[in-house]
Structure 1
Amino acid sequence: MKAVYIIGTDTDVGKTFICAGLCWALKEKGYNIGYFKPVLSGAKRRGKMLIPQDTEFVVNFAKIEGDIYRLTPFIFEKPASPHIAASDENIDINVYQIKQTFEDLSQNYEFVVIEGCGGLAVPLKEEKNQFYMQYQLIKEICNNVILVTTTKLGTINHTLLTVEFAKAYGLCLKGIIVNMYKNEPDEDKVINTIAKFTNIPILAKVDFINDFPSDVDENKFKNVFKKCFDDRAIMKIMGVFEC
């Protein structure tokens, strides 16, 4: 099975944007790519329908076939940690269903990009005072992780803590993608610091797009992804896809 789990150091580091670009870039190279986001909170209503907007964006941008409600089986309107949103909306996050859906999807694609909901230590559900965490789901379906980070203030701390957490719980962290890169003087110093401390490959630096997600300009996005996910970056990333 060839898949990778995309996780973030923090909220709003751009996991969905990276997933969309990665899926699109790999499809451009001729690969049959699937996308799966098991849990999404903070979904928006469109009329009476609750829309998993992250999934909708990735599927539409990367031209991935699949029903968005199958690709994201657990959707919550409340913008909160999944275990809180699920409790408030009286929905049980069924881990077996997530694993079975992933197994079924993986039969249809060469590679599957899985997008996490937040970071490694996010609780997905609480049952009898026991928490089931996102890192546990990762270990059960695809212990193969790419970390998305940025270069904003505080990111060295967030990134190093995430890496150490991954090591402590036996996760296989294969690479780091730096998002929102502005090519400013200190950014490469931040990236080099992270690389030296972690000894984990920096797979790509993805340029900052000022008006995302308010302005979905596909051509602008594609130009960024062509540059940042070039042949060299794709070769590095393809080496990661092995659960």
Structure 2
Amino acid sequence: MASGVFVTGTDTEIGKTWTSVGLIAAFQDRGETVVGMKPISAGCEITAGGLRNDDAVHLQRAGSVPMAYERVNPYAFEPPVSPHVAAARAGVTIDLRRIVSAYRQLASEVDRVVVEGAGGWHAPLGAAITVADMARALELPVIMVVGLRLGCLNHALLTARAIEEDGLELAGWVANELTPDMAAAAENVHHLSEQLKAPLLGVVPYLREFDPRRIAAALDVGMLSR
């Protein structure tokens, strides 16, 4: 069975997908076969092949071996709203057992699976389940993406505490530069490095365009225990 990691973030739109694709490339550079998985996506386009989410497509294309889209993204919803709202509108109840089963099937075929969450750590997936519950069901170590912007210190420290309190391992964190000119970015990264127990895997520079190779070059996945 493959090793896996679960990628979460301090908020939505802070670079989870780009970081996840960078992690896939970085693991591949170490000789591993790797695939990505986004169990739940909201904000999908209707295509001839069915609903497609841009983030999930990036993960699908980055994989070492071809995977049907539905295996990468088991739950896909059209409206760009919170997953629990999108699921309710579609008349769907998100079943964590289905996600775990899909993950295990992927994990049986490769060396590693990079699983991207949805939104932040406590984003709701239904009336009584959150992203945290999905990560717990998968029993994976967590990588936290910190979007560098005003307020990120509080968001990062609260998220890290929540991950620990939920009984999961924060295996590492990634600082992602969301703008080219954030004030005191280096000082923020330094402060988090002192406060967080998990290692800093890298600082992803501000990129105007998606560039998996540059993201992978910024990450040190060798710091992760297998």
Q: TM-score, normalised by structure 2?
A: 0.91
Conservation of the 8 A alpha-carbon contact between 1:21 and 1:62: no
Partner SS, residue 150 of structure 1: strand
Q: Corresponding residue for 2:150?
A: 153
Comparing 6-15 with 92-101, which one deviates more in the overlay? 92-101
Shift of 1:206: 0.9
Structure 2 CA distance for aligned equivalents of residues 53 and 64 of structure 1: 19
Deviations 1:102-156 (A, max 9, x none): 1111100111101001111011112xxxx11111121111231000012211101
2:173 to 172, 176, 183: 176
**Displacement of 1:76 after TM fit?**
0.6
- Aligned-residue offset at 1:93: 1.2
- Number of equivalences: 224
Determine the structure 2 residue equivalent to 1:234: 221
Q: 2:199 aligns with which of 198, 201, 209?
A: 201
Percent of paired sites with the same residue: 26
Q: Which moved more, 1:70-79 or 1:174-183?
A: 174-183
1:108-127 correspondence to structure 2 within 5 Å: 108-126=109-127
Other-structure match for 1:216: none
1:1-41 Cα shifts (integer Å, max 9, x gaps):
41100001011111111111111222233211121111111
Alignment-derived partner of residue 217 in structure 1: none
Unaligned runs of 5+ in 1: 213-220
User: CA separation in 2, counterparts of 1:112 and 1:228?
Assistant: 20
Show the 5 A alignment for 1:1-243. 1=1, 2-46=3-47, 49-126=50-127, 131-180=128-177, 182=180, 186-212=184-210, 221-229=211-219, 233-237=220-224, 239=225, 241=226
Per-residue deviation at 1:63?
4.9
1:189-236 per-residue CA deviation (whole Å, 9 max, x = no partner) reads: 101111222232111111111245xxxxxxxx144135313xxx1311
Which range is displaced more, 39-48 or 110-119? 39-48
